[in-house]
Amino acid sequence: MIMVKIESPVNKYIDTYINNYVKPFRNFIPSKYIVNIGGLAGFIVADDHDVPFLLNKLQAYGFDVTISKGQDTIDEIQVEYTIEENGKNELFEYRIENLISTIYLSSKTGMSIVGILVMQIISLIICKSKTIYKAIIIDLDDTVWKGTLAEDGINTIKQNLRSNEAYPFIAFMRFIQVMAKELGLYVAICSRNDSETVLSAIDKLNEKEFPLKGQIDCIVANYNDKSKNIKAIAKQLSILTNACVFVDDNQLVRDEVRQNLPEVFVPDWDNHEELVTLLVTCCVFDRFELSLKSRNRKRLYAILQQEREKNYLPQLFVKVRNDINNVEAFRLYAKSNQFKFTDKKEFYNGCKSLIFEIYRDNGENLGICSAVTYMEDGKNVHVLNWSISCRYFEIGLEEYILLYIITLSEKRAITFTFNNTGYNGKTVSLIEKYKNNFIKNKDGNLIFLTNVQSISDIRLNTNLKEYCNK
User: Does the pLDDT at position 26 exceed 60?
Assistant: yes
Q: What is the pLDDT of residues 177-191, one digit of tens each?
A: 988 887 878 999 999
Q: What is the pLDDT of residues 364-379, one digit of tens each?
A: 787 889 999 999 988 9
Q: What is the pLDDT of residues 196-247, one digit of tens each?
A: 999 999 999 999 999 998 889 899 999 999 999 999 999 888 888 988 999 9
The most confident of 20-34, 285-299, 304-318, 445-459, by mean pLDDT: 445-459
The pLDDT assigned to 229 comes to 96
Which position has the higher pLDDT, 408 or 298? 408
- The whole-angstrom separation of Cα 397 and Cα 196 is 35
User: Per-residue confidence at 90, pLDDT binned at 50, 70, 90?
Assistant: confident
CA 354-360-362 angle, to 5 degrees, is: 130
Q: What is the pLDDT of residues 309-348, one digit of tens each?
A: 544 556 789 999 999 888 888 888 877 888 999 988 777 7
In the chain the domains, ranked by start, together with CATH numbers, are 12-129 (no CATH), 135-292 (3.40.50.1000), 313-466 (3.40.630.30)
User: Does the pLDDT at position 289 exceed 70?
Assistant: no
The pLDDT assigned to 260 comes to 94
User: Per-residue confidence at 3, pLDDT binned at 50, 70, 90?
Assistant: very low
The pLDDT assigned to 321 comes to 93
User: Does the pLDDT at position 175 exceed 80?
Assistant: yes
User: Per-residue confidence at 75, pLDDT binned at 50, 70, 90?
Assistant: low
The most confident of 68-72, 127-131, 349-353, by mean pLDDT: 349-353
Which position has the higher pLDDT, 289 or 331? 331
User: Does the pLDDT at position 70 exceed 60?
Assistant: yes
pTM of the model: 0.67
Asked if residues 80 and 150 have their Cβ atoms less than 8 Å apart, the reply is no
Average pLDDT over residues 436-454: 88
Kindly state the percentage of the chain with pLDDT values over 90. 45
